[in-house]
Structure 1
Amino acid sequence: MASDRISPPSALLLLPPPPSISFDQFKTVYERILSRVFAALLKSLNGSNRIASLDIALSLPGLQSAPCQPPTRAFGSLQRIVEHIYRLIGVVCTERNIEMEAPGGIDARVVLLDFDSVRRLKASSHEPATAECNGPIVDLKTLASSGRLWDDIFYPDNPVGQDLATAFRSCYPSKEAPGGGGPQPVAGSPQWNPGDSLVVPGEAAGSGLHHSVILGGTFDHFHIGHKLLLTATALVLQPAGTGHAGQERSITVGVTGDEMLKNKKYAQFLESWEERCRSTGNFLTSIMDFGPPERGASRIEQIYKPGPNGRAMVMKIRPEITLKLVQILDPYGPTITEEDLTALVVSRETRSGGAAVNQERAKRGWKQLDVFEVDVIHSADVSAEDVEDFASKISSTDIRRRRMELAMI
């Protein structure tokens, strides 16, 4: 890592496909790799209060195959894969006492990589540029040419990792990397053979194209549970190059207004609505915008209108993709004021909210929303003595409690 950089350290980790979609297998093949990459990032922080960023690109065979397009056809397995990675990140950080999304710690973001070793010629730098694609599913060339200034790029030091790194290196402008080169191996990586048919179609509520997706939440003290929910929402959004040409696509995030949170535990340590919107928008941009650097920064528009859902932040995160962060002051938000919404994303613990929303839309004679459920990250895979610490990393309430305890010291 470059030691003289003013900006926080950043890295990319290229992960080959796992042997199977089971958390035990994810832990077996990825835990040691994540631990060593995290250690390298912490070393580069050198005890400072900066936050190191890590993009994790997990390649999956069959990701862009016809049976799995659009991604909503394979939503069940895709969100499960993302959940496994974020859960493992939580386990590793808990067991090694690493902060997540906090000063002196690591901010890890997961995207899915459309790369299959049997189609590696597709990634050749001699081919014309690929069609625009929006994350969280990206092809290898888009990832490599995104212009992100990674200090280091890591890959497992085994045959499947080396194959992925070789393909990435063929189209990566390494001379522009602050770290001074291309991918570097993670020593001591385990050996494994990637599984087949990891992405399974036919597990979701709907398999159509959704140009307008919504979810809601508090998004206080941003953590990996929020990351999973937002990534799943981005997976539901209609992919680039599908549907009608030039059709606008949007993600609406209903962010609970401050007035509704006064009775929350440790309310004095709640972040403001603006802070919660900012972290939510920054994360969605980080997993969806892999456009070339010359595009420039996203412009944020502040909206204040009378009536329900009148306060919002709106930004363009890619051409034809708009992100709307709307202040909600009731349980329904825009789901009962905007008829053209087509899909709703909820966590499994709030599934009843989806049914309530569709009941209200039915009263208005509106089309029902396709509801997509996302798994909840839980602490079953950490040791008994680490359960409380794990909860403090994935629960906004526990994060606020910890802030209160620190303030009292």
Structure 2
Amino acid sequence: MRQDDLPSLLLLPYPPDPLNRASLNAAYRPSLKSALSKLRRPTGASRLVVAVAWPILHGQFLRSKTLSWSEAQALLAGIYSIISIVCAQLSIGTEVDGGPNSVDATVVLIDDDRNKRYTSDFRPAIEPNNTVVVDMATFASAYFPWNLIFSVRSELGFHVYQNYLKFAEGKQTLLQSQLVPVEGGLTLNIAKGESAASPTQTRTYPVVCLGGTFDYLHPGHKLLLTAGALLLQVPRRGDPSPPCRYIIGITGDEMLRNKKFAEYVQTWEERARNVIIFLAQLLELSPRGWKDGTRPRIDEKDGDFKATFRDGTIQIECVRIQDAFGPTITVKEIEALIVSGETRSGGQAVNDKRAEQGWHALEVFEVDVLDAEEVSDEPTKTEENFASKISSTVIRQQRAARGGTKI
């Protein structure tokens, strides 16, 4: 794999507290803008992993970690919004395989407690827990090699950067030119009193489901897919339990024939493959990193796609949707459903249908929207450009104008 084809890494320090769109914008926008600007190249697409250090997991033992789903998805939505806004302003494409002047950015949450101390004989290794979020030592052991590594010029940024380099030692020989400091923002942290309540921890589920078209995978899709993955109850190492299942309904080609610029809609196979490749960045943990440039193995059966990760403890199932309900009314074992603001009403419809069949209702989780208005300095103009950058319809329109590849 050529150096330029490797993904780059941006290490972001701990989020502001309180966490909202305005504080995230102040803290992270300068760093994201600098990294995205440097990766934009007219000769081809670039990839960026944005790793956010955050003591997100709770629990004393590795096998029983929990997290606050509402906080985690709010952080993801805020960062993906900033990425989309910056890319709109800089004319950077955001979709997967977007071609020249595009950056395929993926946000990864890293559990990192700044107060944790390691003994001198500590050796970082891959130590997954019962969630999809890993700690910094595991991240450094499985995510490499990199094209560039961006670090934030701030006290917290330097701490996260040094911590990462300590754990990543020996994984990749890095030249000084590959280590790029970027501007930091303003991070607000308001000390909480002793009476302040901890965020409510969210239960996880053995079978989670969501649905969508996933045409030209972009930041809105990535938010939805990541938020769903955070709800997975991953079996512990050595646990005889079956793998947790992430069932993703992807609209079949026949249902998209009346879409605008339908001739530029990606095939179901391409859309499903991109979903699995994206999730591999969040779920696969290999001591060889992506050194061999290999892609996840996808098993095709009856027209659907399956892939397994983390020694068979996580199973991804991409199934074709031919109606409004998909697998939610054919797979009784599903327990949690992820929806967006646009598909909120669908959650109630699904539960009504399941009730007719005598099945248990699904827990419905709604992700935040990617919103330019809350963090934009130029609401009107930026919001218009922002909407186009995260719309599959407009992406198809742009490809039609360029005479891009049809299905």
Query: What TM-score do the two structures reach when normalised by structure 1?
Result: 0.86
Shift in CA distance, 199/290, structure 1 to aligned 2, threshold 3 Å = farther
Count of aligned residue pairs for this structure pair: 388
* Separation in 2, partners of 1:161, 1:257: 44
Choose which of 40, 52, 66 in structure 1 pairs with 2:46.
Answer: 52
**Which residue of structure 1 aligns with residue 204 of structure 2?**
209
Contact 1:214 1:343 in 2 (8 A): yes
Contact 1:136-1:231 within 8 A present in 2 as well: no
Decide whether the 8 Å contact of 1:346 with 1:373 is kept in 2. Answer: yes
Deviates more, 1:249-258 or 1:379-388: 379-388
Deviation at 1:150, TM superposition (A): 0.5
**1:192 positional shift:** 3.5
**Structure 1: distance between partners of 2:154 and 2:330:** 53
The question of whether the paired residues in 2 share the 8 Å contact of 1:113 and 1:140 is answered with yes
> What are the within-5 Å matches in structure 2 for residues 183-332 of structure 1?
184=179, 186-190=181-185, 192=187, 194=189, 201-202=199-200, 207-241=202-236, 245-293=240-288, 298-304=296-302, 311-319=303-311, 320-332=313-325
Match of 1:92 in 2: 86
Q: How far apart, in 1, do the equivalents of 2:252 and 2:239 lie?
A: 35
Q: How far apart are residue 196 of structure 1 and its match?
A: 6.2
Q: Secondary structure at the match of 1:316?
A: strand
Say whether 1:397 aligns with 2:393: yes
Could you say if the C-alpha distance between residues 283 and 187 of structure 1 is closer, same or farther in structure 2, counting changes exceeding 3 Å? closer
Partner of residue 116 from structure 2, selected from 116, 119, 131: 119
**Structure 2 SS opposite 1:299:** coil
Residues in 2 aligned to 1:376 and 1:152: alpha-carbon distance in whole angstroms = 30
Alignment match, 2:7: 10
The answer to whether structure 1 residue 359 and structure 2 residue 352 are counterparts is yes
Structure 1 residues 278, 348: CA separation in 2 closer, same or farther (over 3 Å shift)?
same
Please tell me whether residue 132 in structure 1 is matched to residue 128 in structure 2.
yes
The CA distance in 1 between the partners of 2:152 and 2:395, in whole Å, is 33
What one-letter code is carried by the residue in structure 2 that aligns with 1:299? Answer: R
| 8 Å contact from structure 2 (residues 4, 46) kept in 1 | no
Per mean C-alpha deviation after superposition, the further-off stretch among 349-358 and 286-295 is: 286-295
Q: Find the counterpart in structure 2 of residue 308 from structure 1.
A: none
3-state secondary structure, aligned to 1:338: coil
Q: 1:34 aligns with which of 32, 35, 38?
A: 32
Q: 1:16 corresponds to which letter in structure 2?
A: P
Q: Is the 8 A contact 2:304 2:318 kept in 1?
A: yes
Q: Which amino acid aligns with 1:367?
A: H
TM-score of the pair, normalised by structure 2? 0.87
Residue 136 to residue 227, structure 1, CA distance change in 2 (3 Å): farther
Partner of 2:300, secondary structure, is strand
Code of the aligned partner of 1:24 = A
Structure 2 counterpart of 1:385, which letter? K
In structure 2, the CA distance between the partners of 1:229 and 1:188, relative to structure 1 (3 Å rule), is closer
Matched, 1:172 2:168: yes
**Residue 125 of structure 1 contacts residue 170 of structure 1 at CA under 8 Å; is this kept in 2?**
no
Residue 294 of structure 1 deviates from its aligned partner by 7.6
Contact kept, 8 Å, 1:100 with 1:106, in 2: the verdict is: yes
Unaligned runs of 5+ residues in structure 1 are 305-310
Task: Summarize deviations over 1:195-245 as a string: whole Å, max 9, x none.
Answer: 668996338xxx433011110010111110000000000001114539964
Inter-partner Cα distance in structure 2 for 1:55 and 1:196: 30
CA distance in 1, matches of 2:285, 2:177: 19
User: What SS does the corresponding residue of 1:145 show, helix, strand or coil?
Assistant: helix
Q: Which amino acid aligns with 2:158?
A: Q
1:193 deviates by 5.4
After superposition, what is the alpha-carbon deviation per residue over 1:148-174, rounded to whole angstroms, capped at 9, x for unaligned? Answer: 211221211111111111111111135
Q: Label 1:181 to 1:63 Cα distance change in 2 as closer, same or farther (>3 A).
A: farther
**2:366 pairs with 1:368:** no
Amino acid at match of 2:353: E
